[in-house]
């Protein structure tokens, strides 16, 4: 599946990006928990009527110890470099709602064939979006394909 498939097509198969993310966390020995809604395994009726803060919960909470420090993150997992305009407009709200000093919000772009996710903070994601051009899917949804090459943190 990729960013060109429609909603029904995308939801008819397992979420590869989330599978890859969980596999990565397991390999690294990170503690993780699924947080957000699972549209594939447990869809709910009238989902789009839910408040955007709840509807857009981060996908995962992860925790790891590194160098004597405890690190916690809330993670939005993405399986494509395409970012919808509607999600882009919500990023400042996501930062306000979900980011904190002790638990940063981060995006994990997970692609088949890559050994680890591309981890990008929201501020960088906003920059990448502004450097990209609008495109439109057949259903009128506006999105941009982000240039992720070399623009990540690890």
Over residues 40-60, the mean pLDDT reads 88
At what angle are helices 85-98 and 122-130 packed, to 10 degrees?
Answer: 160
| Percent over 90 (pLDDT), the chain | 69
Over residues 75-94, the mean pLDDT reads 96
User: What is the reported pLDDT for 3?
Assistant: 52
Nearest to 63 by CA among 103, 24, 100, 27: 103
Domains of the chain (ranges plus CATH)? Answer: 7-145 (3.40.1350)
User: What is the reported pLDDT for 64?
Assistant: 93
HSE (side-chain half, CA atoms, 13 Å) at 76? 22
CB 59 within 8 A of CB 52: no
CB 45 within 8 A of CB 94: no
Collapse the DSSP code of 109 into the 3-class scheme (helix H, G, I; strand E, B; otherwise coil) and give the result. Answer: strand
């Amino acid at each position: 599946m990729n960013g060109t498939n429609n909603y029904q097509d995308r939801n008819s198969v397992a979420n590869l990006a989330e599978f890859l993310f969980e596999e990565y966390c397991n390999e690294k020995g990170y503690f993780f928990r699924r947080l957000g809604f699972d549209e594939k395994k447990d869809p709910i009726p009238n989902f789009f009527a839910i408040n955007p803060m709840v509807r857009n919960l981060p996908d995962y909470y992860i925790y790891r110890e590194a160098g004597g420090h405890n690190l916690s993150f809330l993670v939005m997992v993405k399986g494509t470099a395409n970012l919808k305009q509607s999600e882009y407009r919500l990023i400042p709200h996501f930062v306000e709602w979900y980011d904190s000093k002790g638990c940063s919000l981060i995006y994990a772009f997970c692609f088949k064939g890559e050994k680890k996710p591309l981890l990008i903070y929201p501020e960088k994601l906003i920059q990448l979006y502004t450097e990209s051009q609008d495109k439109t899917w057949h259903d009128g949804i506006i999105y941009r394909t982000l240039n992720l090459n070399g623009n990540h943190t690890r």
